[in-house]
Every structure is written in C-alpha cells, then in structure tokens.
Structure 1
C-alpha cells in the first residue's frame, strides 16, 4: 500500500481506520471509492518538515471510535454561545435532535446515514485526510434553504467533540455537512467547534460542501475553539453560480494542530467571494490555512485576507492560490496574508500564488511577516501610554480589520477574550 509506506510494518494505524470503516454497515459507494483512494495517495509527499513531524506524531497514536456519546443539556448550555439563531447540535459528528431546535425557520435538514445515498461531486482539492473523512463519517447532514427564501436568523451549528481518556489514543470523529441555497436565497451559517473536555485527545475530520445557486447570498463563520490536545483537519468546498455572493470568516484558536482548506469553484458570471481567517498559535502548536479559488467565468471578484499571530514556538503555514482559467476575463482577484510574530521563537511560512490563463484580468497578492514595530510603540509612549498598553493596542489593531467583518457582538467578545488570554503571558 504505497500511500501508507511510512506507517509501521504491520500497518497498525491503517488497520485501526479500517475497523472504523467497517463499523458502519452499508457504506455509500462514494465512501468506498474514497477509501480506495487512501491506498494510492502518498501521505508524506509534498509535505514540509513541520507537517511530517505532526503526521508522524499522529501515526504514533491509537485510533478508536466513540461516536455514541450523550451529554446533558446543562453541559451543552455551558459551552454554546448565546446567539439569536436556530440551533443544531452535533456530538462526535452526529446530530442530537434533543439538544437542537425543532423549528429552524426556512432551513430544511435531512440526515443521510442509510441507503439510498445521493451522489456527490469529486472534491475540488484532493488530499489524503479529505478522503479519510469522506470514508469514515457515520452520517451526512444535508441542509437546504429553498429558492427565494431569505432567512435573517443565522443557523448556528454547535459541534461538540469528546476525546479519549486512554493515553496515546485519539477518538476518531468526522463531521460531514452539505449546505445548499436555492436560487435567490440568502442566509447565514455559523459553525462552532468546541471540546467537551479540555484534556482528552481526539482527531477531528471536518468536511463541508456549499452549493450556491444563482443570485444567492451566504455569510459563513467558522469558530475553532477546541482544546490544545486536539487535531483538526477541515476541507470546505464551495460551488457558486451566477451573480452570487459568499463571505466566509474562519477563526482558529487553540488546537494542537489545525489545517483548514477552503476550495472555491466559480461556475457563473458576476459573483463575489470573500475569504478571511485569523489563527492564534503558541506552545509548539501548528496551524495551516490553505485556499484555492478557481475563476471559470467572467466579471467575478475574489478578496482574501488571512492573518496569524504567533508566539512561543508556534508555527504558522499559509498557502493560497488564485487560478484564472481561459476565458475568465475581467476577473478581479486579491489575496493578502499578514503575520505578526510576538517573539523570536515564532515561525511562519507563507506562499500566496497566482495562476492566470486569461487576458484582461486584475489580480495581485502579497504577504508580510514581522514583529511589533518598536517605532509605533515609541510613538504611543510619547503620548503618555504605558509600554505594555501600547503593545496591546498594536496587537488589537492588527485583528480589528477582521473583527469588523463579524456582525455578532457575542462572537467578537469571545474572540477578544481568547486574544486577551493568549496575550496574558507576554503582556
């Protein structure tokens, strides 16, 4: 099995994943096909040294499946955000109706865990852990907003994950969602990933597909607030039609290793994409943010702003690509990655890219990596501001541009609270 050549001789981890795969009867043909692809992909190819270190650490663990976990409403209430929204609650990858709202406005939800299974398109970006999630999830949540429906209240999806109490053992959890908005529809989706326990370890594979018909609007927020013993691999595919708009903001705070890949394929004209992210990293944690936007039609625009704040041996990786295919004239694409290092032990690798095959386009990219500007601190100190306060002002100013994109004050307050805790050791 070429794809697992660096796992131990008896393919211990692969066999554990195989047992999880077999645990569910009647796997879809799509899941079976993805499982076969695992055997053909070289897990360690095209990986940098940081990723290889993390993968070797993951492959040294044991994997189990504890999907049938129940939690009390009190436990859930203590972890969720208080939002004016429709609530869907998932525990270890499966919807929990007793904790979810029975009425969710114009949104429609269907759980798919038995045949017949509806077909799915091939992934925009093919990757080992994407196929692993596609193979091992126990159910798919299909969420649909019908044509012409404009839902003002957001759909708040709370993902609660429970780890394993056993040493060197990861609970294998997979979330699998398909979100579709019909022609002329508009809505907002908030995904919130939290840990049931702050010490237990787990592996979270998250897969979400978005299908936006013509003249649709979607606002999306992802909040990754899991414990520092968790591993989070996420893959989002976005398919967008004519004259549609999507804004997606991804906030990742806390996991031991996180990797979020957003892939977009524009199928229509006059559509607009906005992808943004904020990642905080410290204590040998590694965070990756990866994007791919494929412009296939004319007169479309894409804007990306990605920021990382890194301290104390934290490591950040950014990789973004805008691809403009032949005939996609008048494309307007922009990708920016800004990174703030809070000490000499922090590291970031960044690689924004453009791939253009059409004329009459306007595309640009840029990246910055640096420490807090001492001249800015000096300027503030000359105005009577204390040194530590000046440093705090600059850091908070660094994230302000992203915070202005979020309209929910409760979410802003939570991010600022996490940022305050993050900075408490150094300021």
Structure 2
C-alpha cells in the first residue's frame, strides 16, 4: 500500500523505532521492523487502512514513562483478592505491581530472546508492532503445585486531549504448568482520549493445566481510543481452558485469538459478549486448529450493536487429518438495535477428517416488539421489558461463570453500557 509509505505514518513509526532501538535493539525486533515496512507497501484490509489513515492526521508517539499512585486507580479496579500487575503507558509499573509474590514467577526483560518452537500463526501488522516496539518483555510462569491467587492484569493509559496519540506496545508470555486451576483477569481501563494499546500474548498451557481467563475492555465514558490484541494459545494434553470476553467498544477494537490443540483430551470453552455503539468498530477473528484427537472446542459469541456501529466476527475451525473424534462447535447470536448498525458474521470449517463432530450456527435479529407488548399487558413498563429481553439474550453466556463477583461485574457493566435498568439480582 504505497500511500502509507508515502504518508506520515511511516515517517512517524521510523522515528519511534530509531529512538526505541537505542536501548531496546535486538535482531528479532529488527526483523519485525522490516516486515512492518513490507506490509505498509502492500494492500492491507480496509479496517486497518482506516485506522492508519486516522493516525496520519495525528502525532503518534511512544508513551511516556509515568508513575501512578494506586489511589488514582482504586475506583476503577475490581474488588478481588489477587496478584495485580499494572501495565501503564507501555511498561509494567514496578512500584505498585505485585511482582515479588509467592504464586507467580515474573521476569522482565528489555530484549525478547524467547523463541517458542511451536509458533504456527501468520503475523499481522499489530503483532509486528509489538515485537518491534515493546519496551519490556514480560514472562509469567505458574509452576508451583499449590493453590494460586488469581492473576489480575490491569492496562491503564494516561494520554492527553491534544492531537497526540500515545502508543503502548506489550509482549507477554504466560506459561501455565500447574495441576491446580488458575484464574487470569485482564482489565483494560479506558478513561483518557487518544491512545493506542497494542498487546501480544502467548499462552502455553502444559499437560493437565486448567485456566479460566476473563477479559474486560470497558468503556468509562470514552470512545476515542484504540485497542488491538493478539492472543496465541497452545494446549497440550488434558488441558481445560475457559475464556470469557466482555468487549465494550472503544473507537476501534481488533482481537485475534488463535488456539492450537497440540495434545489430546483437551477442552476449550470460549464465550464472548461484544457491545458497540456510536460509530465504533469491533473486529474479532478466531482461529481454532485441532492437531491431535479426542479434543473439544465450544465457541458461543454474542454481539449487540447500536447507532452507527459495526461488529465483524470471523471464525475458522480447522481439523487436521490426525485429529480423530474431535468435537467442534461455533455459535453466533447477534442483535441489531438500530437501522444503521451492522453485524457481519463469517463462520468457517476446514475439516480434513471424517471421524469428527462439528457444527456451526448463526442468528441475527432485533428486539421483538410483540414480546414488549406481552410484558406491558402484564404490568411491566417498557424500560424494564427491554431490560429483561436484553439480559435474557446474554444470560446463558454467563451461567458457567462460577465466580459470583465476576458474574456480577459482567452484568453491571452490560447494564450500564446499554443504559438499561440494573436488576440482575432478580435472576
């Protein structure tokens, strides 16, 4: 895409990279920088084109080093007894994070020298940015055979209201090698304008690992920032992974999840709720590959759009020829709440084995006003009837969340975002 090379975006990224390499240079980062240059020369998809064209009209800069008092964040944090790591403006804040703890071994490095041998995915421009511009490589290991506190990752940015876009890049490796269940909570707090958060996570789930992973991208009255996330999951033998996402639209959210079943008898349950309003955009790409047999993957995704917003949901389930007795399920359900909002859904199956069980389904609709009338005839007002129907739509996605605190957080955030009556205790 020649225009991006000719325009301001390439010059800005080049200047940032030159400053970055003075203290964070590595051969690996240089390789990814050259790949960014090649991608900018080629045609990229329209969503990324719009994003980078928007940056062209602003000043892009690496985020400044900033120390935050914990009391500034307290009002936004979930009340959970956990090991907390604060990622602020592109770096982990060592002053307020629980880096030295009895549950997780946390290493911080300026240079990425980790080369995991089973990498299988194709990089995109955002993963190249993470590999090239990240200031600190975070490695988190859970190998102790004891009960663990939840791990709570908090992403917080402090920007400003001028035309500068602060860019924060992160590269994290999370290795779970523990027979006890682990809970991981990832919380993105969006309170300031004009910043770009870019995260690349690699999850390695060794034999018999059990992980519950909750992600919250919540909108605190702010819809002008950008968040991109690349997650790669490697599931070995007898792994049990639950993932729950609550994505409330910023200006732009793109998430790429890639799951690979390397071992046998492993199970994935992945549920998500995506909410978009105003003229915001959410892109979710899910890729699940079964390499070995006797595994199960269940995906259930729900989406609600309002105003002039758009949600794009793309999924591919691939079953290789040796993955016998695989059970794969993909289910999408969506609600369009205005005439101008859009939801695009594209599920896909690539099956190379006959001895499998695979299904996919898609539902798209709107609130049925006959149901509203049914409630009103029984003395329930219009607003509460809407609330009941909204909540009924999402509740089955939450029934397997056994942590009552997290379930309550999900429901409160959804109620607030949709501006509907909060009556979750009635369920």
Q: Same fold (TM over 0.5)?
A: yes
Give the gaps of 5 or more residues in structure 2. Answer: 423-427
How many corresponding residue pairs? 417
| Residue 38 (structure 1) aligned with residue 36 (structure 2) | yes
RMSD: 2.2
| Residue 76 (structure 1) aligned with residue 73 (structure 2) | yes
Change (3 A) 1:183 1:100: closer
Give the gaps of 5 or more residues in structure 1. Answer: none
Q: Distance in 2 between matches of 1:248 and 1:425?
A: 26
Partner of 1:375, secondary structure, is helix
- Using structure 1 for the length normalisation, give the TM-score: 0.91
Please state how far the C-alpha of 1:104 moved relative to its aligned partner. 3.2
Q: C-alpha offsets along residues 328-368 of structure 1, whole Å, 9 cap, x if unaligned?
A: 11110001111111121211101011110112111111111
Q: Distance in 1 between matches of 2:40 and 2:330?
A: 29
Partner of 1:36, secondary structure, is helix
| Residue 108 (structure 1) aligned with residue 105 (structure 2) | yes
The answer as to whether partners of 1:87 and 1:104 remain within 8 angstroms in 2 is no
1:179 aligned residue: 174
1:328 aligned residue: 323
Partner of 2:201, secondary structure, is strand
Q: Distance in 2 between matches of 1:303 and 1:262?
A: 14
Change (3 A) 1:56 1:43: farther
Partner of 2:370, secondary structure, is helix
Higher alpha-carbon deviation: 158-167 or 307-316: 158-167
1:254 aligned residue: 249
Partner of 1:255, secondary structure, is coil
1:209 aligned residue: 202
Q: Distance in 1 between matches of 2:313 and 2:247?
A: 13
Please state how far the C-alpha of 1:119 moved relative to its aligned partner. 2.2
The answer as to whether partners of 1:105 and 1:151 remain within 8 angstroms in 2 is no
The answer as to whether partners of 1:67 and 1:94 remain within 8 angstroms in 2 is no
2:278 aligned residue: 283
TM alignment of 1:17-28, pairs within 5 A = 17-24=13-20, 25-28=23-26
The correspondence for 1:56, drawn from 53, 56, 61, is 53
Q: C-alpha offsets along residues 60-86 of structure 1, whole Å, 9 cap, x if unaligned?
A: 332111230121121022222111211
Q: Distance in 1 between matches of 2:181 and 2:3?
A: 46
Q: C-alpha offsets along residues 300-340 of structure 1, whole Å, 9 cap, x if unaligned?
A: 00000111111000111000110001111111000111111
- Using structure 2 for the length normalisation, give the TM-score: 0.91
Change (3 A) 1:61 1:109: same
The answer as to whether partners of 1:67 and 1:173 remain within 8 angstroms in 2 is no
Moved over 6 A (4+): none
The answer as to whether partners of 1:43 and 1:128 remain within 8 angstroms in 2 is no
The answer as to whether partners of 2:88 and 2:156 remain within 8 angstroms in 1 is yes
Please state how far the C-alpha of 1:105 moved relative to its aligned partner. 3.0
| Residue 421 (structure 1) aligned with residue 416 (structure 2) | yes
Q: C-alpha offsets along residues 43-75 of structure 1, whole Å, 9 cap, x if unaligned?
A: 774625x55434432333321112301211210
